[in-house]
Structures are given as C-alpha cells and as structure tokens.
Amino acid sequence: MSDLISRIESDEAFRRESFPACRDRIFMAHAAVTAIPQVAISAMDEFNRASATGELDYSKVLLDDMDEVRVSAARLIQSSPDEIALLGPTSLGLSLVANGISWNEGDEIITYLDDYPANVYPWKFLERKGVKVVYLQPTEIGAITPELVEAAMTPNTRLLALASNNFLSGFRLDVEAIGALARKYGALFCLDAIQTCGAFETLAKDVDFLSADSHKWMLGPMTAGIVYVDKNRFEELEPSLLGAWNVKSPNFIAQDAVEFEPGGRRYEPGVLNSQGLVGMKASLDMLTNLGIPRVESRLLELKSAICEGLEAMNYKVISPQSGPNASGITSFTSLDNPKGIESLFPVLLEKNIVLSFRHDRDGVPYLRFSPHFYNTHSEIEAVLEGISNART
C-alpha cells in the first residue's frame, strides 16, 4: 500500500479499476460528496449479498463488526475505539454536543457564522436557553487564527465550536493551537472535522468532541460517520437520543432505570447504518495504510499545480496556497467577470469535469477544486486547459 500513489501515477488501468469515477470523468469535488472507491463498493456489495441471501449474522454485524469499524476510525484520529460513536451525518454529532451539555444562562460559545451551516445552527439554537453565541470576524473568509480566537475568549467562554477547515476558502485551522487555548481557558472544544478527516491529520488529543461524516475526504458513503467524545467528558455530555441500543435492555426488555452502554455506544440510540459503515471502514483502512501524512503531501502537491495554472489565467485564488493553513480545497473567482465563473461551471460539467460551485455571503461566485490523492497531474492539466478553452 505504501506505493499506491506511485502506482496510480504509472498505471492508469489500475487507477480506473480502483477509483471508478476516473473512468468517465475528472472528479475533483471531494469537499462536496465524494466518489466512492472500489474497495468500499466491494465491501458494501458483499454486505448486501449476504443480507439478500439471509447469510448475514446480524448479532455479529451489530456488535463485533461495528467494533472493528471503531478500531479503524480510532486509528484515523488516534483515539481509543471506545471513544467512538458511529453516527452520521456531521450535523447529528454536533447536535448531540449542543443538546447534551447542561448549559447555564450566560455561557458563551465561540463559532463562525460563515462556516458550513451544520456548524452554526446547533449553537445558534441554544440562544433560547440564554447561551450567548459569539461570532468570530476574520478579515478573510475562514481565516480563523489562534490570535483571533483568544481575543474573543472571556471567563464565560464554555465552548469553542469550530471547523477544522473552511468549506469555501479552504483555510485550515490550527487545531493543536486552538486545543491548547481551550485547555488554557478551561473551555471545551468541539470540532467539525468533515473537511480534514481523511486528508490531513486531525487528532483526538486536541479536542473534546469531534464529528465527521465519511462522504467527503474519508471516501465513504453518506450518513456513515464518526463522533468522538473524550472519555473524560462522558459524564459531562449526556446522551440526548435514547433507544434500545444505548440504554441497557437485557433480552430487549425495557428496564425501570436508565443505564447507558459503555463507551461511545452510549450515543448510538438504535441500529447503525451498518452497510455504509462497512464501506467507510474499507476506505479508512486504505487511507490509514497509505498514511495520512502522505495523503496530505499529495494534496498540497496537486494544489500547487492548480494555483499556478489559475494565477497564470489571472483568476483570484482565495485559498491559502502553502503553509500550515493550506488544505485540499482551492476556490477561485474572477473579480472582473463573476458571471464568467457562473457560466464556466456548466461548461465544465458538459466536459465531464466535476468541480463545485459556491457563493460567499456577498453573493460572489466561486469554483472550488477539491481533488484527492488518486487524482493526477495530467487531470489537473486537463481541467486547466478546459477552463482556458472555455474563456476563449
């Protein structure tokens, strides 16, 4: 597996077999909804086959097999498997944090209004309980720095609720530094990690809570995800969804007292999306066997080629192009001709080139690259050529 990237670059037939999206299109929209690799498809197909023939042992699937998924997820973020709940989408995990903490009137949450809405509304809704939501105001989209966060903190700061990477600008958060700030001020830290998990190292040691669905950089299906809760926070984060699976129910008989299952299972109220989680595990194992630092290096290498080509065409790139805040997301626009950006998107789609189309709060349109490690330099060149040809 260590030479996977080298083989992808040298063996196009292998690449197309392993990543079916490559067969008919150039897919560079992993920050939206990913294209699923063959290893995950095969795992889910086998699950479906066994389910269709009645061979599936559900008692094993729901317990032993899902515990193996926890091991793979824990390996990705370097946590203990018993701190993992297997829940997606990302908003579900964030809402579990928002609804599971016992809030006091006057508590403050620091967040960012121009993060993806899933990481805004759970906190905004707590205002009805007297919680004060403090919105960071960076000078550039998504540019959340430790200095900016520390300046917003007060003795009433209860929680930092931030995204590991801005979905539009691709500005990557210094999670380690923010985690240190949270500990310094005695605040909790909840991370929306969907835009870095699977692409850049995102470690449990720096946060109290983390939520990420697999349908982006983890190369998994939708609604299969991970929620991390530091085991030292189990008593502080009360489960807000209850059912037969997270409350002990021997022989499926309800008890008079509510006693939660141990570990992360306490946050899983019912049966899981086992099919999707089997697919997620296959993709996670591929990524961690390759090595997330290797993936990170590959993404920044591709990013450099993208930015060089875009700037040669005089587009404005709003994403950090290098350094610790750079990520796999590269968004660009044309300040002189924004309508040209809007018209460019469908033209590229017709050529089977898949990017993402987004707007900022002021309505400025952007096209967003988000290639993964299996994309190639020749694909980058083809996309840049397609953009150039569409302008003429």
How large is the average pLDDT for residues 278-306?
A: 98
Task: Give the closest residue to 72 by CA, choosing from 190, 210, 226, 222.
Answer: 226
Cα distance between residue 301 and residue 322, in whole Å: 10
Cα 290–chain centre separation: 18
Instruction: Specify whether the CB–CB gap between 368 and 168 falls below 8 A.
Output: yes
Lowest mean pLDDT among 25-29, 267-271, 317-321, 387-391: 387-391
pLDDT tens digits along 351-368: 999 999 999 999 999 999
Instruction: Specify whether the CB–CB gap between 221 and 279 falls below 8 A.
Output: yes
Instruction: Specify whether the CB–CB gap between 78 and 204 falls below 8 A.
Output: yes
Q: Which helix (H) or strand (E) segment is 334 a member of?
A: none
pLDDT tens digits along 73-121: 999 999 999 999 999 999 999 999 999 999 999 999 999 999 999 999 9
Q: CA of 119: how far to CAs of 96, 306, 346, 358, in Å? A: 12, 28, 29, 17
Q: Given a cut of 80, is residue 1 above it in pLDDT?
A: no
Q: Which residues are CB-contacts of 132 (< 8 A; sequence separation ≥ 6)? A: 106, 107, 108, 109, 156
Which superfamily does 4-36+292-391 belong to? Aspartate Aminotransferase, domain 1 (3.90.1150.10)
Task: Give the closest residue to 385 by CA, choosing from 284, 317, 312, 336.
Answer: 312
Q: Given a cut of 80, is residue 392 above it in pLDDT?
A: no
Residues across the chain? 392
Q: Which residues are CB-contacts of 182 (< 8 A; sequence separation ≥ 6)? A: 160, 188, 189, 208
Delimit the domains of the chain by residue range. Answer: 4-36+292-391, 44-289
pLDDT tens digits along 323-344: 999 999 999 999 888 889 999 9
Give DSSP secondary structure letters for 225-290: EEEEE-GGGTTTS--SS--TTTB--GGG---SS--BPSGGGGG--S---HHHHHHHHHHHHHHHHH
Count Cβ atoms below 10 Å from residue 81 Cβ, excluding itself. Answer: 16
The reported pTM is 0.97
Q: Given a cut of 90, is residue 58 above it in pLDDT?
A: no
Q: Fold for 44-289, please state it.
A: Aspartate Aminotransferase; domain 2 (3.40.640)
Which residues sit opposite 134 in a β-bridge?
Answer: 110
Task: Give the closest residue to 318 by CA, choosing from 368, 374, 387.
Answer: 368
**Which pLDDT value is given to residue 335?**
84
Tell me which amino acid residue 250 is: P
Task: Give the closest residue to 245 by CA, choosing from 278, 276, 273, 267.
Answer: 267
Instruction: Specify whether the CB–CB gap between 366 and 360 falls below 8 A.
Output: yes
Cα distance between residue 234 and residue 83, in whole Å: 9
CA distance between the termini of the chain? 42
Cα distance between residue 339 and residue 214, in whole Å: 33
Cα distance between residue 282 and residue 58, in whole Å: 19
Q: Helix or strand or coil: residue 361?
A: coil
Lowest mean pLDDT among 124-138, 147-161, 199-213, 325-339: 325-339
Q: Given a cut of 80, is residue 391 above it in pLDDT?
A: no
- By percentage, how much of the chain surpasses pLDDT 90? 95
pLDDT tens digits along 156-198: 999 999 999 999 999 999 999 999 999 999 999 999 999 999 9
Percentages (nearest 5) of helix, strand, coil residues in the chain? 45, 15, 40
Give DSSP secondary structure letters for 87-142: --SHHHHHHHHHHHS---TT-EEEE-TTS-GGGTHHHHGGGGGTPEEEE---SSTT
**Which pLDDT value is given to residue 2?**
46
**Which pLDDT value is given to residue 62?**
87
Cα distance between residue 355 and residue 381, in whole Å: 14
